[in-house]
């Protein structure tokens, strides 16, 4: 096994046993990046010299007895999270050259735990997209088939983890943006409960839906990263003042006697047959492990899409008003007046999907339309949340597919926004309901990974990690590597 | 829901988003299609349902009203496209 193929927990063990140094691991990963990133294009920017410097420091610290959980572990961070002193563009031209003077809490926590920053990964612009094709810079390619998308918006992070270009990564999930690329790239990706992880320094897309989430080569790594980034943050008043459980201790491969719900509305026409088969096969694995599979109904599932595509753009239209060429980022160099600065900065700086969503959101919030669209969507959001509440009365976790298909080809859906939005039908409700979910690999179709979600109740990440872990340990999908 | 060109231009102005002619046409079509799709929400009777702004929320999060540290002006201005001293420089806001 190559050092770049290690998981975080394996690297931790080897580092602690002094069998390998952080410099050796980091050098191996950097070399791997050199070999494959020209084709995968997971990274928007990398800092190899700084990373090696940090690795040397980490090895010194370890020699002096430091044993922080991520000491010397090289990770990647989605470019939607502010990294102090390191350019952060959110995949947009409007923030080209922006150097944050502060750091996102989630990133700061990883750094305090000793992580080495390899670079910032590609993302759909301002996290708006399901394929990473909306990045203002370039598209990332799926390591399993370079002609296909890695998913989005955390496509860069997912591809980097899948291609062993980092030992783990952070992404963000507003409508599925950690889970769907995790599924397309055959890795594990978790969306925490809303308020579990601080959004301070996470550049805001939709403030009531956004969450920072870990992507890892296996469930254990997700649990490890979650344990470090989770927690109350006085700088984000939407974080919960609740203790963080020991997620690693929760990883027992034991689901005997557990009730796992399967909502019938998640098996729709138009789903790729292999995806449906893989999920049904996974249910058999769970039965074999002693779990009871219970059919539940979540009747408002199909409404998640229109609800999301009214609420998220509405929130985005407010959050993106700040990009006006005044305090940071691109500014139209030759404006006639202040309004011209705003209009032309935003016209030049934003890509089409971002503009589309700003327009949609502005319309939904505007006088005369607010009740019919925004308020209506918020009411249906209540119904969607109630579906989850009712389901969790009958089971401890839900098992559903992550995406209706495997990774589609680059360019295949980029002309039809609505088609692109449909790839999120199985992930959107979770953000609307605010509860947690993890995607893990559950099979392949024509060499492309298929993802399965385990969805849990609020702040019950320990349960979904355990249920996901049990399946993972009974199968070997997580050990497969892309042929790159 | 078919949007008119005037509506699209109005929305763009509210959002201070300059649009090309081509974008105006394309967005009129695409936004209309998305809003059409959103009409399906009207199948649901939500007259007795309260809206949810945040599914999982905290309430009235406060802290003592004490002065705490902030960022120094140099750091805040470091990304300014145009600056003058400790100010962000912009075009005139108020006309004569």
In a domain? residue A383: no
What mean pLDDT comes out for the span A251-272? 94
Q: What is the pLDDT of residues A295-330, one digit of tens each?
A: 999 999 999 999 999 999 999 999 999 999 999 999
φ and ψ at B68, to 5 degrees? -120, 170
Give the A window 234-273 contacts with B, CB below 8 Å. Answer: 234, 237-241
Put simply, whether B64 touches A (Cβ < 8 Å) is: no
- Whose CA is closest to A29, among A186, A133, A179, A164? A164
Tokens, residue B33: 């299609």
- Whose CA is closest to A316, among A360, A378, A367? A360
Average pLDDT, chain A: 97
pLDDT class for A414, splitting at 50, 70, 90?
Answer: confident
Q: What is the pLDDT of residues A18-39, one digit of tens each?
A: 999 999 999 999 999 999 999 9
* Residue B42: exposure state from Cβ atoms within 10 A (0-12, 13-18, ≥19): exposed
In a domain? residue A68: yes
Q: What is the dihedral of CA A126, A129, A130, A136, to 10 degrees?
A: -70
Nearest CA in chain B to A360: B31
Yes or no, beta carbons of A355 and B17 under 8 Å apart: yes
What is the residue range of A214's domain? 3-252+464-479
pLDDT class for A248, splitting at 50, 70, 90?
Answer: very high
In a domain? residue A437: no
Q: What is the pLDDT of residues B51-95, one digit of tens each?
A: 998 888 888 999 999 999 889 999 999 999 999 999 999 998 887
Yes or no, beta carbons of B46 and A376 under 8 Å apart: yes
Cβ contact B9:B16 at 8 Å: no
Put simply, whether A339 touches B (Cβ < 8 Å) is: yes
- Burial string for A237-255 (b: 16+ CB within 10 Å, else e) reads bbbbeeebbebeebbeeeb
φ and ψ at A394, to 5 degrees? -105, -10
Topology annotation, domain B5-43:
Histone, subunit A (1.10.20)
Put simply, whether B48 touches A (Cβ < 8 Å) is: no
Q: What is the pLDDT of residues A76-117, one digit of tens each?
A: 999 999 999 999 999 999 999 999 999 999 999 999 999 999
In a domain? residue A194: yes
How many domains does the structure of chain A reveal? 1
- State the pLDDT at residue A241: 95
In a domain? residue A229: yes
Yes or no, beta carbons of A383 and B44 under 8 Å apart: yes
In a domain? residue A67: yes
The structure's pTM equals 0.97
The residue of A319, A379, A387 whose CB has the most chain B CBs within 10 angstroms, and thus the best one to mutate to test that interface, is A379
In a domain? residue A369: no
- State the pLDDT at residue A275: 97
Q: What is the pLDDT of residues A225-234, one digit of tens each?
A: 999 999 999 9
In a domain? residue A457: no
Which strands, in side-by-side order, build the sheet including A436-445? A43-46, A116-121, A74-78, A168-173, A211-216, A188-191, A436-445, A448-456, A397-401, A259-263, A292-296
Q: What is the pLDDT of residues A361-392, one digit of tens each?
A: 999 999 889 999 999 999 999 999 999 999 99
- Whose CA is closest to A462, among A286, A253, A282, A246? A246
- State the pLDDT at residue B96: 67
- Percent of chain B at pLDDT > 90 equals 79
Residues of A in contact with B71 (CB under 8 A): 101-102
Place of tokens 């503009």: A355
Distance of CA B83 to CAs A153, A325, B77, Å?
34, 12, 7
- Identity of the residue in A102, A241, A382 whose CB atom sits nearest the CB atom of B71: A102
Q: Which residues are CB-neighbours of A57 under 8 A, at least 6 positions away? A: none
Tokens, residue A155: 């496509």
- Burial string for A389-410 (b: 16+ CB within 10 Å, else e) reads eebbeebbbbbbbbbbbbbbeb
Strand partners, A188: A216
φ and ψ at B84, to 5 degrees? -140, 110
φ and ψ at A404, to 5 degrees? -70, -20
Yes or no, beta carbons of A97 and B79 under 8 Å apart: yes
CATH number at residue A200: 3.90.1300.10
- Pick A417 or B19 by higher pLDDT: B19
This complex has an ipTM of 0.95
Phi-psi region at A156: left, alpha or beta (left = phi > 0; alpha = psi -120 to 50): alpha
Can you give the three-state secondary structure of A363-420, one letter per residue? HHHCCCCCHHHHHHHHHHHHHHHHHHHHHHHHCCEEEEECCCCCCCECCCCCCCHHHH
């Amino acid at each position: 096994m190559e050092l770049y193929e290690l998981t975080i927990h394996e690297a931790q063990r080897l580092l602690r046993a002094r069998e390998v140094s952080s410099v050796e691991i980091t050098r191996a990963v950097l070399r791997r990046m050199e070999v494959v990133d020209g084709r995968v294009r997971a990274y928007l920017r990398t800092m190899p010299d700084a990373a090696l410097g940090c690795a040397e420091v980490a090895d010194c610290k370890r020699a002096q007895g430091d044993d922080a959980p991520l000491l010397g572990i090289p990770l990647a961070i989605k470019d939607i999270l502010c990294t102090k002193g390191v350019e952060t563009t959110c995949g947009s031209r409007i923030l080209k050259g922006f150097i944050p003077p502060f750091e996102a809490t989630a990133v700061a926590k990883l750094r305090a735990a000793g992580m080495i920053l390899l670079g910032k990964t590609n993302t759909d612009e301002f996290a708006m997209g399901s394929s990473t094709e909306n990045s203002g810079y370039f598209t990332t390619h799926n390591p399993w088939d370079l002609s296909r998308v890695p998913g989005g918006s955390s496509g860069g992070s997912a591809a980097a983890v899948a291609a062993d270009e980092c030992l783990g990564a952070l992404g963000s999930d507003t409508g599925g943006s950690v889970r769907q690329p995790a599924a397309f790239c055959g890795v594990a990706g978790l969306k925490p409960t809303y308020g579990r992880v601080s959004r301070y320094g996470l550049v805001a897309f939709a403030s009531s839906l956004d969450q920072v989430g870990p992507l890892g080569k296996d469930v254990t790594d997700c649990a490890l990263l979650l344990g470090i980034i989770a927690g109350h943050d006085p700088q984000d008043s939407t974080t919960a003042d609740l203790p963080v459980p020991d997620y690693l201790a929760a990883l027992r491969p034991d689901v005997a006697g557990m009730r796992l719900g399967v909502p019938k509305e998640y098996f729709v026409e138009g789903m790729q047959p292999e995806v449906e088969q893989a999920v049904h096969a996974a249910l058999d694995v769970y039965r074999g492990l002693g779990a009871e599979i219970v059919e539940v109904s979540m009747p408002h599932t199909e409404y998640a899409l229109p609800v999301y595509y009214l609420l998220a753009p509405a929130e985005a239209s407010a959050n993106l008003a700040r990009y006006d060429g005044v305090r940071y980022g691109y500014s139209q160099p030759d404006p006639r007046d202040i309004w011209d600065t705003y209009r032309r900065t935003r016209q030049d700086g934003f890509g089409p999907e971002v503009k589309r969503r700003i327009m949609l959101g502005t319309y939904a919030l505007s006088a005369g339309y607010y009740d019919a669209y925004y308020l209506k969507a918020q009411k249906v959001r209540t119904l969607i949340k109630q579906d989850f509440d009712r389901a969790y009365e009958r089971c401890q976790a839900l098992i559903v597919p992550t995406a209706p298909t495997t990774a589609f080809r680059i360019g295949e859906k980029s002309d039809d926004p609505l088609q692109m939005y449909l790839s999120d039908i199985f992930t959107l409700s979770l953000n609307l309901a605010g509860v947690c979910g993890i995607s893990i690999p559950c099979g392949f179709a024509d060499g492309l990974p298929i993802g399965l979600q385990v969805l849990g109740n609020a702040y019950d990440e320990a349960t979904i990690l355990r249920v996901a872990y049990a399946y993972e340990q009974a199968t070997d999908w997580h050990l497969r590597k892309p042929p790159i | 829901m078919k949007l008119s060109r005037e509506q699209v231009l109005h929305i763009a102005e509210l959002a201070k988003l300059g649009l090309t002619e081509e974008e105006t046409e394309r967005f009129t079509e695409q936004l209309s299609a998305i809003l059409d799709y959103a009409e399906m929400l009207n199948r649901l009777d939500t007259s007795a349902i309260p809206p949810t702004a945040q599914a999982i929320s905290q309430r009235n999060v406060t802290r003592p009203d004490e002065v705490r540290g902030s960022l120094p002006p140099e750091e805040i201005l470091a990304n300014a496209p145009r600056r003058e001293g400790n100010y962000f420089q912009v075009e005139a806001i108020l006309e004569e």
